[in-house]
Amino acid sequence: MSLTSTLKGSSKFDKEFQKILFDLSNKDYFSVLNKDCNPFEQDNPKVPYDSELNSWQASIIGTAFDYCARFEIGKFLKDKRSTDALYSAQGFLAILKSHPKAKEYKLTESYYINLMKDISEYVKGKEGNFEYVLETSVRLAKMEHAVRGDVRRIPELNLDNIFIDDQSSLIINQLRDMVKLFQEEFINGGYVTKKSDVIYNPHFGATGDLVGGADADIFIDGTLYDFKTSKDNKYKRLDVAQLLGYFLLCEINNYMDVDDAYYLGINRLSFYKGRYGTIESMKVTDLGIDTLNNKAKELAAALINSPSRSMHSIMRKGELMKAFQK
């Protein structure tokens, strides 16, 4: 279970969770920050979707773009944290442990460390190979997908495709154009500054644990961003509900007095559209303070009654009950 799967699930808990967030979701709260156009209506992408892409390749591009955007922000800030704690490392270790040909391919932890060295040099601002960053980000995306998906299928993975072969020019070309657009619209547009407060892949502590994990793309100066690379720019209630879910989980977690409480002062929720170069954003206060407080309480109650029965979850539920009985 995760926040994403909960929003797509069909259990009683899933449906209760969905209703709370779907009731809040409304496209009318959004505006486009960097273009003179209406949100969710632009239909002329600057990076058109290549019709030869299949759904798996499109998914890999989305994850690889997340890595590239992270590295570009890290490079701008000269922030080595942008290369730390990547989910690709978990994927690599899972492959190392579970794939029967890992030894045949001479995969060791040093392989991953060496793979990241040039990325780290690029982020530090030293002369780096942009094409290497693109290629490596695709490899990292494939490693992440290995552990994000059905881990039982890891032994079936084609290791040549991940570690040996040159990555598809179709994927690289699409990725390159989107990253250059990101540099132009987001980095050069001033949506991150040298003094920015940045958290990469923020998670949501105790409350995130109760939905089986919740991690967003990036937090910058009070804004929680979700990067999107899909060809369809239409309003999607599920995407907005996911951002609202992150926000409410964060608000509940901020209220809890636990050692690993993960504080974020989120005041905006935004989508960066990778093919369009647009930033669609809403102020959370536009929802109304009373409404937000009531929804946070509803969500907290739902989390307390969630079906998770692990010892860790039971402890988290106890912490949550204690916080909301104050």
| Cβ atoms 253, 262 nearer than 8 A | yes
* pLDDT score of 262: 56
- Identify the segments of the chain with pLDDT beneath 70: 1, 127-128, 257-263, 308-312, 325-326
Report, in this order, helix, strand and coil percent for the chain, each rounded to 5: 55, 10, 35
Q: Distance between CA atoms of 110 and 41, rounded to whole angstroms?
A: 47
* pLDDT score of 263: 63
Is 282 in a helix, a strand, or coil? strand
List all residues 6 or more positions away from 169 whose beta carbon is below 8 Å from its beta carbon: none
| Cβ atoms 139, 167 nearer than 8 A | yes
| Cβ atoms 165, 172 nearer than 8 A | no
Q: Distance between CA atoms of 80 and 124, rounded to whole angstroms?
A: 7
- At which residue do the structure tokens 């060809």 appear? 231
CA distances from 301 to 209, 248, 249, 294 (A): 15, 12, 12, 11
Token pair belonging to 14:
């899933």
Token pair belonging to 62:
């989305």
* pLDDT score of 210: 79
Token pair belonging to 129:
């190979």
Q: Distance between CA atoms of 302 and 37, rounded to whole angstroms?
A: 38
| Cβ atoms 142, 154 nearer than 8 A | no
